[in-house]
Amino acid sequence: MQNHSWIRTIAAASVALGLSAGAHAATDIKVTFTNVSPAGSVGTSPLWVGFHNSSFDLFDAGSAASLGVERIAEDGNSGPLGTLFAATTLTGVQGTLAGPPAFPGDVRMLTLTGLDLQGDNRYFSYASMVVLSNDFFIGNDDAMAHDLSSLVAGGGKISIFVGGNGNVWDAGTEVNDFANSLANGAFGIGGGQTGANQGDDEHGFVHRIDADPYAAFLNQGLVPAGYDFSPLAFTGQAAIGRIDIEVVTAPVPEPQTYAMLLGGLALIGAVTRRRMRAR
Ligand SMILES: [Ca+2]
Ligand SMILES: [Ca+2]
Ligand SMILES: [Ca+2]
């Protein structure tokens, strides 16, 4: 009977040690967004970022956008997207890089704490409205496109270039029309929306923008004569922005990891003492 007791004790110690070895470090990161477009080109709304275990898929090209994507693509509002993310991935970490729209050369930053880059927060998703537009946005269709697990060992930094030719999406939710586009004034164009969710419903699907879209926008005399659209055309540039994700503190084990490790050692000690008594 005593042998069986030992087996149970050793098994319990193994489980405890196994759990401590499998526990992941909590890591703090800094996210920096830089608008790398040339002067006079497009801006971006405050960037939303989410870190998840692969379970959050922002959108699918060829399918209707979620309400979260619609609101950020049309109004630069990341609120509904945040609600959707929180409901989809209970262990996710998210945030929005606060500030006014980032125009060429502008930099925005956000620090997030306690991420598990080996598990619950291994994959990175992002979204931001592109202005000038009705419903253009940047974001990743593939939930697993950006794997951050390499950041844990010794820190490090991952840089992701976003937007640019073939990497800007039309949410398919609002008809492209300068009469209802956001941030017209920043580009010297008349008209534009004056409140949230204005404009005509597009009833379309998320689709990639492959050609300069602005020529097709011309309408209603809102554009000054001789207006030069060429600086705006993100299809003529490699990227709109660069996202840098870097570890800001050395990874440290969580308190419960120590607790499990000590618990495992205590059990091993108990087994050793019992063996010595049995001799
Ligand atoms: Ca997708
Ligand atoms: Ca549209
Ligand atoms: Ca809408």
Q: Which ligand is nearest to the CA of 170?
A: 2
**Averaged pLDDT, 148-155:** 80
Kindly tell me if the per-residue pLDDT of 14 is higher than 70: no
Residue ranges per domain, the chain?
A: 26-271
* pLDDT computed for residue 268 by the predictor: 53
Q: Which ligand is nearest to the CA of 200?
A: 3
**What is the CA(144)–ligand 3 centre distance, in A?**
28
**What is the CA(243)–ligand 3 centre distance, in A?**
27
Strands (E), the chain: 27-35, 43-44, 48-52, 93-96, 107-115, 123-131, 136-139, 157-162, 169-170, 207-208, 241-247
**What is the CA(62)–ligand 1 centre distance, in A?**
10
**Averaged pLDDT, 88-111:** 97
Residues with CB under 5 A from ligand 1 (ion): 57, 60, 141
The mean predicted confidence, pLDDT, of the chain is 86
Crossing angle of helices 67-75/79-88, nearest 10°? Answer: 150
* pLDDT computed for residue 47 by the predictor: 98
200 neighbors 180 (Cβ within 8 angstroms): yes
Tokens 């005399």 — which residue?
221
Residues with CB under 5 A from ligand 3 (ion): 74, 173-174, 197
Task: Describe the chain by its helix, strand, coil percentages, rounded to 5.
Answer: 30, 25, 45
**What is the CA(124)–ligand 3 centre distance, in A?**
26
**Averaged pLDDT, 195-210:** 96
Kindly tell me if the per-residue pLDDT of 113 is higher than 80: yes
Distance (Å) of CA 237 to CA 40, 158, 167: 12, 21, 10
**What is the CA(260)–ligand 2 centre distance, in A?**
53
The region of weakest confidence among 83-92, 196-205, 242-251, 264-273 is: 264-273
**Averaged pLDDT, 244-258:** 68
Kindly tell me if the per-residue pLDDT of 3 is higher than 70: no
Q: Which ligand is nearest to the CA of 136?
A: 2
108 neighbors 61 (Cβ within 8 angstroms): no
At 21, the pLDDT band (50, 70, 90 cuts) reads very low
List the one residue out of 44, 31, 50 whose CA is nearest residue 240.
Answer: 44
CB atoms within 10 A of CB 225: 5
* pLDDT computed for residue 153 by the predictor: 56
**What is the CA(196)–ligand 3 centre distance, in A?**
8
What distance lies between CA 36 and its chain's CA centroid? 18
List the one residue out of 213, 222, 190, 227 whose CA is nearest residue 137.
Answer: 213
Q: Which ligand is nearest to the CA of 196?
A: 3
Q: Which ligand is nearest to the CA of 145?
A: 1
Three-class SS of residue 154? coil
Strand order in the sheet with 107-115: 107-115, 27-35, 241-247, 157-162
Kindly tell me if the per-residue pLDDT of 232 is higher than 90: yes
At 216, the pLDDT band (50, 70, 90 cuts) reads confident
**What is the CA(204)–ligand 3 centre distance, in A?**
11
Six token digits for residue 106: 């502008």
The region of weakest confidence among 123-127, 138-142, 254-258 is: 254-258
Kindly tell me if the per-residue pLDDT of 255 is higher than 50: yes
Tokens 């949230």 — which residue?
196
Q: Which ligand is nearest to the CA of 216?
A: 2
Kindly tell me if the per-residue pLDDT of 266 is higher than 80: no
CATH topology assigned to domain 26-271: Immunoglobulin-like (2.60.40)
The region of weakest confidence among 50-54, 83-87, 269-273 is: 269-273
